[in-house]
Structure 1
C-alpha cells in the first residue's frame, strides 16, 4: 500500500541505509517494479540525496531505521523543511508489540519511550504518523496529501511487524486545493490595480516558484505585461536568465550590479513566496519602498495592508494573467542594470588564484548542466556567475549546511541521468560527506567534481580567525580518493591543478570525459571569490557586532 502510494505521487527512488527494523520493507522494495532502493553510506547523506532528487523531480523519499537512523537524518530533513523541499521520510521502527509493551529494545533510550523520536520530527515536518493496520491507509493518505500540498518533509513510522498485514486499499484520491472564486477575483483585482498604477514594477522570485511549478506562469505574466524580474539566491535558474526582462540576482546589497537600485526604485514589487532571510537578503539589506511589496504566498496575498486567504498562488497568477490579457504591455522599456561581460584575459596575463579559476569554471559550463555548489566559496561564486541557458543551480542558501551538495548531487544525478552534472565543493565541506563519492562511483554518475582545496574553512576565516587553527582541516590526498573508494580508474578521471596551465589541461580533459571526473584545485587559505570577504564582514557585524576582524 505505502509503496504503491509513493509510486502514485512520483517516487521512483528511495535512498537510505538498511537496518534490522526496515529489512522486511526493503524486501518489498526489491519485489516492487518501478521503485528502487539506493543505498548510501549514512542516513544524513541519504536524506540529502533525497532532497537533491526532489528538487529535480518534485518529490523524494528516504528510508531509515528507528532512533539512530532517524536522528542521523534529521539535520538534512530540517534543511528540506527550511528550503521547502518535499521529502517523505519512512522509519522502520520496532514492532508494535514492543511499542505497546514498552519493551526495552536497542536503538531506543531503553526507557520504554517510543514517542521521543516522533516529537523530534514533528518540529521539522508538515505531517507525521505511526502506521497501524486499522488506520494505515487513511494515515498514509493524510501524510502524503500534506507533502504534496505544503511542499515540506513528512514522516512515517512503519512498525516492523505489520509489513505483511493485508488491508483494503481504495484508489488514491487526487490531491487538489481549490480557490474561493469570489476571493480569488478580488485578490486578482488588487494585483492588477497595483500593476496599472505602477511606474516601475518588478517581480521577485523565491523558492515557491520551484515548489509549486509556477515557472511558466511567471514567465507569461512578466512577458505579457513587460515586467522585469529578479531572483533571490534560493530561486536562481528557475526562470530564464537572459533577455530584456532578466535583471539578475537580488540579495539586498549583495545583489548583482544595479539590481538593488532597480528594486529600490520599484513602486510595485510582486514578491512570489519571498522570505528575506539573512543569507538571501545581504544580511537584511533589502530596501523596498514603503508599501511597494505585493506579497504572494502559496495560499494567501498581502497587498496594501490587506490580507486575503482562500486561494492558491497558481490560481492567482492565472487570474491576473487573464485580467491583463487585453492590456498593452506598459513596462517593456527599462534601463540596463547588468554590465556587459568583460573581455576574456589570456592565461598568460592571469596570476593563479580563485579569480582565474572561477572565470574558467564559468566558461566550462554548458547549457543544460545541473550545477551544484556547496556553502561558502563555491556557492558565492556560482550565485554571482552567469550560467548558460537551461542550467539548474543546486544550492542550499537558507539551511546552509556544509557538505550538503555532494550527496544532493548524487540524488540529482540519479534523477536526471541524461544531463551533465558539475559540482563545486570546498575541502572542509567535502570532508563532511565525502563517503558519497563512493556511491557516485558505484552508480557511474556523469559528474565533474571540482574540489576547492584552500586548507580549511575560508568562509569562517573571512568572519573571524583568518589564521586560527580552528579553521584548519586535515589536508587529504583528495585526488587519490576515487581509487580508494572503488572507482574503476580506467573510467574515472582524477587530476590536480595548482596553476593556470594545469587547470586548462584538466578542463580540456574533463570536457571530453564521460563519467566521473574529479579535479582538485589548490589555493592559499585566504584566496576567495569576489564577494566572500564582504559576506564575511556582514556576518561578523550581525553575529558579533564587530566592524573589523581581529589583527593577526
Structure 2
C-alpha cells in the first residue's frame, strides 16, 4: 500500500477527506455514484485528495454495477449515494455484489442528526419520521451496516467498514449524517495501516481438515480440481495454480471462475457447467472419485435451463470461510490460510494418480461461406482466436454467458459475469467499472501488456443500462462493445419455447449511432451480418488495438443460441421420446427465424 503520511497533510483533516485518503491508500482511485441533497458536502472533499476521480454515473443502479465491475479487478470499490431515493435505486446492484462476493463500501449521505432526532418531514423520506427504514432494508444485502453517530470514533468506524468489505468481500453499508462530514480527525490516524489480514484459523481444526483432504488426494485414481468464483474474489489464484501444477490433477473452472486458472496449463480441461457441460468435461468430472472445489460459491445450483452440482460423494468444498467435506461442515476456516497449510504439507511422492493430460478444450474449426449468416456456435469458436493476453472479457446474462464458456482464454485474461444474481443489464455498468480499473492498473504497472476490455451484451440487456456508455465516452475509455443483436430476449424465447411471444420483442434501435449521440469523436461502429464481415473485422490488425471505443453490432437469428443450450434441448427431447412423453411442439431452427431479420439489416454498414 502507498500510504499518505500525516506529515504531508494538515494536522487535522475532515472525516470526508479521511475516507477518501483511505481509498487512495488501497489504490482504489475511482469513486462511483451520483450527487444528491445529502451527500454533496462529502463529494466536495473528494477534490482535496489528489489522484482520485469522481466517475459521475448516469443513475445509481448503473453506479452499483460499475462499482461491482471495478471491485472485481481492484479488490474493493466505494459508491456514494444520497439518502432514500438514491440508495434504493442502487440496491439491486448492491444485492448482486452481496450474492457474488464483491467488496463494496456503500456510503449514504443522510439528513442531519437533528432532523432525524426530531423526525422532521424532509424530502426523500416516507413522511412517517422513520429515518432507519432504508438502513434496515440495506442491512439484508450487507455483511455489516452502521449509521455513524459518535464524532469521537468516526475515523475508526470508517476503517472498520473498509476492512470488513475488503476481508469478507461483501458490501458494507455506512450512513453518514451530513453534519458529521466536517468532523475533524487527526491525520496521524492515516499512518496506521489498515489491518487487512484474515484472522488466524484454529490450527487443530485446520490440520484435521488438511490431513483429510490430503488422504483423499493421495489415494484418488481419478481426481479433479474445480476452480470456482471465490478463487479470484478471495485472492487465492496463486495458491490454486500451485496446487494444480504440483498435483497435475485435471483442473476445470466453473462459469463464474473462468479466468482464474491459466487455460494454457496442460492439465486444464475446460469449463464445468453441470448438466450442459461438453461431454468430454462431464465424463471426467461426473466420474471422478475425488473432487476438490477451491473457492466454492455454490455446491448446488439450478436454473430453468440446467442443473449444476457435483455427483461424487468424495467431494471437498473449500468455501471462503468454511469447508464442507462429505457430510461434515467446518466453520471459521479461511480459505487462504487453509490452502497455504495444504501446500506446505503436500507431498507429491504420495500421489497415486497417474498423470494424464486433461482432454483439451475442443475448439471446432468450422468452415462457412463468406456470405453465410452468423451463428452463435461459429462466432464463439472464432473469438478464441481473437482474444489476446491480458483481456478483460465481460459477458451478459443470456446467450453470451453460455457462449463464452466454449472459448479459450489466453494467459492472464479475466472473465467477468454475473451467473448467480443474473441481473440483466449488469454488464454495461460493469464494463465501465472495469475500464476505470484497467486504466489505473496500466498507470501502476510496469507490465507492457495492454489490457483490452471486451463486452458482449445482448440488445435487450443493452437497452436497460445503455446510459453508462455516455460515461465511457465522457472519460475517453476504449472498450469493445459487441452487441449480440438477436431482436429481443432470445434465451428466454428458447427456454420458454415461445418463439412468437411478443413480450420477448423489443423496439429496434439504430445502435451504431449511439456513440455519436453520446458525443464520441474518435470511435468505430460496424454492423456485422455475415461470416465474411466478421472475419474481415477480426483479421484487421488495426481492430486489435484498443485505441478507440468501438461498437460492433452482430446480427443473429432470434432463435439461435449457443451450442450448450441447443445440446441441452436436444437431450431433453430424446429423453421425452424414450419415456413416451410429448416432445416440444416447435424446433428451434435458426434458419426458420431468419425471416425476422429485416432485409436492410442484411447489408453491412460502416
TM range (shorter): over 0.9
Alignment correspondent of 1:543: none
Question: How many Å apart are 1:299 and its aligned residue?
Answer: 2.6
**Residue 165 (structure 2) pairs with residue 144 (structure 1):** no
Alignment correspondent of 1:118: 135
- CA separation of 1:329 and 1:226: change in aligned 2, threshold 3 A: farther
Report the more deviating stretch, 216-225 or 50-59. Answer: 216-225
1:416 to 431, 438, 460: 438
**Residue 341 (structure 2) pairs with residue 319 (structure 1):** yes
**C-alpha deviations, 1:475-506, integer Å up to 9, x for none?**
00000110011111xx1111212222333334
Alignment correspondent of 2:178: 160
- CA separation of 1:145 and 1:423: change in aligned 2, threshold 3 A: same
2:126 to 83, 96, 109: 109
- CA separation of 1:39 and 1:536: change in aligned 2, threshold 3 A: farther
2:543 to 510, 523, 545: 510
Q: Secondary structure at the match of 2:402?
A: helix
Conservation of the 8 A alpha-carbon contact between 1:280 and 1:397: no
Quote the Cα distance in structure 1 between the aligned partners of 2:395 and 2:406: 12
**C-alpha deviations, 1:498-552, integer Å up to 9, x for none?**
2223333343363356110111122221122212345679999xxxxx9855669
Quote the Cα distance in structure 1 between the aligned partners of 2:306 and 2:135: 34
Alignment correspondent of 1:331: 353
- CA separation of 1:80 and 1:537: change in aligned 2, threshold 3 A: farther
Conservation of the 8 A alpha-carbon contact between 2:38 and 2:109: yes
Quote the Cα distance in structure 1 between the aligned partners of 2:582 and 2:57: 43
Alignment correspondent of 1:286: 309
Question: How many Å apart are 1:347 and its aligned residue?
Answer: 4.2
Conservation of the 8 A alpha-carbon contact between 1:369 and 1:421: yes
Q: Secondary structure at the match of 1:90?
A: strand
1:397 to 396, 419, 422: 419
**C-alpha deviations, 1:247-292, integer Å up to 9, x for none?**
21112122234112211221211122321353589733534222x1
**Residue 472 (structure 2) pairs with residue 440 (structure 1):** yes
- CA separation of 1:267 and 1:512: change in aligned 2, threshold 3 A: closer
Question: How many Å apart are 1:397 and its aligned residue?
Answer: 0.3
Question: How many Å apart are 1:225 and its aligned residue?
Answer: 1.9
Q: Secondary structure at the match of 1:50?
A: helix
Question: How many Å apart are 1:137 and its aligned residue?
Answer: 2.6
Quote the Cα distance in structure 2 between the aligned partners of 1:535 and 1:119: 42
Quote the Cα distance in structure 1 between the aligned partners of 2:139 and 2:78: 17
Alignment correspondent of 2:6: none
**Residue 47 (structure 2) pairs with residue 33 (structure 1):** no
Task: Give the number of equivalent residue pairs.
Answer: 544
2:325 to 300, 303, 307: 303
Quote the Cα distance in structure 2 between the aligned partners of 1:287 and 1:164: 54
Question: How many Å apart are 1:206 and its aligned residue?
Answer: 1.2
Q: Secondary structure at the match of 2:274?
A: coil
1:499 to 530, 547, 555: 530
Q: Secondary structure at the match of 1:501?
A: helix
Conservation of the 8 A alpha-carbon contact between 2:267 and 2:358: no
**Residue 195 (structure 2) pairs with residue 174 (structure 1):** yes
Report the more deviating stretch, 442-451 or 394-403. Answer: 442-451
Quote the Cα distance in structure 1 between the aligned partners of 2:177 and 2:21: 18
1:378-393 maps to which residues of 2 (within 5 A)?
A: 378-393=400-415
Q: Secondary structure at the match of 2:493?
A: helix
Question: How many Å apart are 1:346 and its aligned residue?
Answer: 5.1
Alignment correspondent of 1:14: 31
1:368 to 390, 395, 409: 390
Question: How many Å apart are 1:388 and its aligned residue?
Answer: 2.1
Question: How many Å apart are 1:8 and its aligned residue?
Answer: 3.5
Question: How many Å apart are 1:244 and its aligned residue?
Answer: 2.3
Quote the Cα distance in structure 1 between the aligned partners of 2:134 and 2:421: 21
Alignment correspondent of 1:87: 104
Report the more deviating stretch, 432-441 or 515-524. Answer: 515-524
Quote the Cα distance in structure 2 between the aligned partners of 1:105 and 1:329: 68
- CA separation of 1:231 and 1:156: change in aligned 2, threshold 3 A: same
Mark the runs of 5 or more structure 1 residues left unpaired by the alignment: 541-545
Quote the Cα distance in structure 1 between the aligned partners of 2:159 and 2:358: 50
- CA separation of 1:96 and 1:332: change in aligned 2, threshold 3 A: farther
Conservation of the 8 A alpha-carbon contact between 1:276 and 1:284: no
Conservation of the 8 A alpha-carbon contact between 1:206 and 1:234: yes
- CA separation of 1:154 and 1:315: change in aligned 2, threshold 3 A: same
**Residue 548 (structure 2) pairs with residue 525 (structure 1):** no
Quote the Cα distance in structure 1 between the aligned partners of 2:220 and 2:545: 50
Quote the Cα distance in structure 2 between the aligned partners of 1:124 and 1:247: 35
Conservation of the 8 A alpha-carbon contact between 1:448 and 1:510: no
Quote the Cα distance in structure 2 between the aligned partners of 1:276 and 1:105: 46
Conservation of the 8 A alpha-carbon contact between 2:247 and 2:348: no
Mark the runs of 5 or more structure 2 residues left unpaired by the alignment: 1-17, 443-450, 574-580, 588-606
Quote the Cα distance in structure 2 between the aligned partners of 1:335 and 1:349: 39
- CA separation of 1:150 and 1:287: change in aligned 2, threshold 3 A: closer
Question: How many Å apart are 1:344 and its aligned residue?
Answer: 4.6
- CA separation of 1:483 and 1:178: change in aligned 2, threshold 3 A: same
Question: How many Å apart are 1:295 and its aligned residue?
Answer: 1.9
Quote the Cα distance in structure 2 between the aligned partners of 1:280 and 1:207: 18
Conservation of the 8 A alpha-carbon contact between 1:438 and 1:485: yes
- CA separation of 1:205 and 1:359: change in aligned 2, threshold 3 A: closer
Question: How many Å apart are 1:168 and its aligned residue?
Answer: 4.6
Question: How many Å apart are 1:422 and its aligned residue?
Answer: 1.2
Conservation of the 8 A alpha-carbon contact between 1:232 and 1:250: yes
1:472 to 500, 505, 522: 505
Quote the Cα distance in structure 2 between the aligned partners of 1:226 and 1:501: 41
Give the alignment's Cα RMSD to 1 decimal: 2.5
